[in-house]
């Protein structure tokens, strides 16, 4: 990264907005046309008042070829982001996700302008309750959340006179007074059970890594009716030269963001200071500075947009000053019709070739659905391989079915989601259908007499296929449609070699952010 920012910290990759009692997830994201990383952003941050002064800084980021992510790391809030590829931003979270497989960070260079708001603890102390559009979704908690978590949050923040003061007390408890310790040598997990183990005193409790601190802080904040979410990204880079910085995997971090009306989404740092990878350093200044009323904040307000340090540049406020000359094209130029025709022919040939794998795969499926239990089972296996789901090479049908059901997703309301939820209990009809397939297969294989009527399981197989597809993002469905991996033996062997006990990941940034801290 190249920037004149003296402290380029908290480079965000993705934001987790929902806690279901099992894990924090990025929620249901949909691609919005027009909200692309091609310059000035219309909504730098939801809830940030235009009276808050900002210190804009420019950044040029180059990712190594090893950092292959479908999430684009950006500063928050940003007023300008320009990156090659089909990157789309979400108005609520202001994180960027690719809408197709070809758009990735590997080897990519992009530019952005971060606003760096000068937040006032006085304004946050006296802020009004968040609007319902923020308050309801970002304070939602599962009914299974143990009461101990709520009781502990109330006890820690007893005596607080505002939501902001409660958040500061909570941060201080995690970092200083609560007896917590940072360590990477702890079991993973953000479930209710893992949360209770992490918050418990004694017997190995209150020891964890940054993701556990951020997740626990956000859950406890929600019990206090403070809107919260969890951000994942990079904490602090290493300075390697004049205005040059390098982020590495050791800098990956997770932190909570809390919402205060007028100040927007505000970073807190509950992870204790540590020199170990993923450990935090200091805390944001507004959480430790004296609460004083700011004077004339509008006097130093920057309008946002693209900030330039080059006084001769015409590209200010995110708008490129380009002109066109109507006389630059000669009216007498000839049209190369032959080359255009050749181009269309080539495109038609390539399109026909691209259609072949999908057509072959569909014919195989149709033939198998007209067969018996073994053919139905093979079709389920190849569907899982096409969708990137691990398929055991030497497990019983019962064990395989149990693993496969963890990848089922619910029926979406509309188009497939960017990151749909998946897991057991979301598609009970499909789980029943899978049970019938497994039972029939076991009878065919192990019973002396079994009914194996051709085509009898076709409906159940289709139900399972739909639920598997409902649990996959759109780019995975496109890849399975155009380039089904089951047509090649390597895809099946890779699925069989996968970690078969692994459940679907709660946090994944294009396969890069599976675990932080």
Q: Percentage of the chain surpassing pLDDT 90?
A: 55
- Under a CB-based contact definition with an 8 Å cutoff, are residues 115 and 307 in contact? no
> Which residue, chain included where needed, has tokens 């009878």?
443
Sign (positive or negative) of CA dihedral 51, 53, 58, 63 = negative
pLDDT of the residue at 252: 93
Whole-prediction pTM value?
0.64
pLDDT of the residue at 42: 77
Q: What is the average per-residue pLDDT within 181-204?
A: 81
Least confident of 151-165, 363-377, 384-398: 384-398
> Which residue, chain included where needed, has tokens 């502990």?
152
Say which CATH architecture domain 2-293 belongs to: Roll (3.10)
DSSP-assigned letter for residue 113? E
- Under a CB-based contact definition with an 8 Å cutoff, are residues 217 and 271 in contact? no
pLDDT of the residue at 130: 95
- Asked if the model's pLDDT at residue 141 lies above 80, the reply is yes
Bridge-based pairing state of the strands 207-208 and 181-182: parallel
pLDDT of the residue at 72: 96
The residue ranking higher by pLDDT, 410 or 393, is 410
Q: What is the average per-residue pLDDT within 126-151?
A: 95
pLDDT band with cut points at 50, 70 and 90 for residue 75? very high
pLDDT band with cut points at 50, 70 and 90 for residue 120? very high
List alpha helices for 370-498, DSSP H: 373-386, 397-405, 428-446, 458-470, 474-482, 489-497
Numbered ranges of CATH 3.10.620.30 in the chain: 2-293
pLDDT tens for each residue of 289-335: 999 887 764 444 444 555 554 433 333 333 333 333 334 333 344 66
Secondary structure string (H, E, C) spanning 499-517 = CCCCCCCCCCCCCCCCCCC
Q: For residue 146, count CB atoms less than 10 angstroms from its CB and return exposed for 0-12, middle for 13-18, buried for 19 or more.
A: middle
Q: What is the average per-residue pLDDT within 384-396?
A: 83
pLDDT of the residue at 5: 95
pLDDT of the residue at 418: 65
> Order of strands, edge to edge, in the sheet holding 109-114?
38-40, 78-82, 109-114, 57-62, 2-3, 244-246, 238-241
Which residues, including other chains, have CB under 8 Å from residue 241's CB and lie 6 or more apart?
A: none
Least confident of 228-232, 352-356, 421-425, 473-477: 352-356
pLDDT band with cut points at 50, 70 and 90 for residue 476? confident
pLDDT tens for each residue of 337-362: 788 888 888 888 877 777 788 888 89
> Which residue, chain included where needed, has tokens 């200044």?
285
pLDDT band with cut points at 50, 70 and 90 for residue 440? very high
- Asked if the model's pLDDT at residue 170 lies above 90, the reply is yes
| Euclidean distance between CA atoms 367 and 379, whole angstroms | 10
- Under a CB-based contact definition with an 8 Å cutoff, are residues 245 and 252 in contact? no
- Asked if the model's pLDDT at residue 510 lies above 70, the reply is no
- Under a CB-based contact definition with an 8 Å cutoff, are residues 260 and 24 in contact? no
pLDDT of the residue at 490: 54
């Amino acid at each position: 990264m190249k920037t004149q920012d003296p402290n380029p910290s908290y480079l965000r990759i993705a934001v987790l907005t929902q806690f279901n009692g099992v894990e924090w997830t990025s929620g249901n994201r949909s691609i919005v046309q027009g909200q692309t990383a091609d310059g000035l952003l219309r909504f730098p941050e939801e809830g940030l008042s235009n009276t808050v002064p900002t210190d804009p800084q420019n950044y040029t980021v180059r990712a190594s070829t090893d950092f292959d992510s479908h999430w684009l790391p950006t500063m928050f809030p940003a007023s300008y982001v320009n990156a090659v590829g089909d990157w789309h931003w979400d108005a609520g979270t202001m994180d960027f996700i690719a809408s197709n497989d070809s758009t990735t960070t590997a080897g990519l260079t992009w530019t952005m302008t971060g606003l760096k708001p000068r937040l006032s603890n006085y304004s946050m102390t006296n802020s009004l309750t968040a609007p319902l559009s923020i308050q309801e979704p970002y304070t939602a908690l599962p009914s299974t959340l143990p009461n101990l978590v709520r009781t502990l949050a109330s006890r820690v923040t007893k005596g607080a006179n505002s939501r902001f003061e409660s958040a500061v007390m909570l941060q201080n408890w995690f970092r200083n007074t609560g007896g917590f310790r940072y360590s990477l040598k702890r079991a993973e997990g953000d479930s209710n059970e893992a949360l209770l183990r992490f918050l418990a005193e004694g017997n190995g409790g209150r020891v964890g890594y940054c993701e556990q601190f951020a997740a626990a802080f956000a859950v406890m904040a929600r019990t206090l009716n403070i809107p919260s979410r969890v951000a994942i990204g990079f904490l602090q880079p290493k300075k390697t030269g004049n205005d040059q910085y390098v982020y590495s995997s050791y800098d990956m971090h997770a932190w909570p963001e809390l919402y205060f009306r007028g100040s927007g989404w505000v970073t807190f740092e509950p992870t204790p200071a540590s020199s170990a990878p993923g450990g935090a350093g200091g805390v944001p200044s507004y959480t430790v500075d004296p609460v004083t009323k700011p004077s004339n904040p509008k006097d130093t307000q920057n309008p946002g947009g693209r900030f330039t340090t080059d006084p001769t540049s015409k590209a200010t406020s995110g708008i490129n000053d380009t002109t066109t000359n109507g006389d630059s094209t000669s009216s007498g130029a000839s049209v190369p019709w032959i080359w255009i025709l050749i181009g269309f022919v080539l495109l038609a040939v390539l399109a026909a070739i691209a259609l072949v794998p999908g057509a072959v795969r569909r014919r195989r499926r149709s033939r198998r659905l007209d067969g018996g239990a073994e053919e139905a089972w093979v079709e389920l296996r190849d569907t899982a391989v096409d969708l990137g789901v691990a398929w055991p090479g030497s497990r019983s049908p019962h064990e395989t079915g149990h693993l496969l059901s963890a990848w089922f997703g619910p029926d979406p309301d509309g188009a497939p989601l960017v990151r749909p939820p998946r897991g057991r209990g979301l598609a009970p009809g499909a789980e029943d259908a899978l049970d019938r397939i497994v039972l029939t297969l076991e009878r065919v294989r192990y019973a002396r007499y079994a009914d194996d009527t051709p085509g009898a399981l076709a409906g159940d197989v289709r139900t399972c296929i739909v639920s598997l597809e409902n649990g996959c993002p759109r780019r995975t469905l496109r890849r399975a449609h155009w380039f089904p991996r089951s047509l090649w033996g390597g895809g099946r062997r890779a699925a069989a070699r996968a970690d078969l006990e692994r459940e679907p990941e709660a946090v994944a940034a294009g396969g890069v952010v599976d675990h932080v801290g």
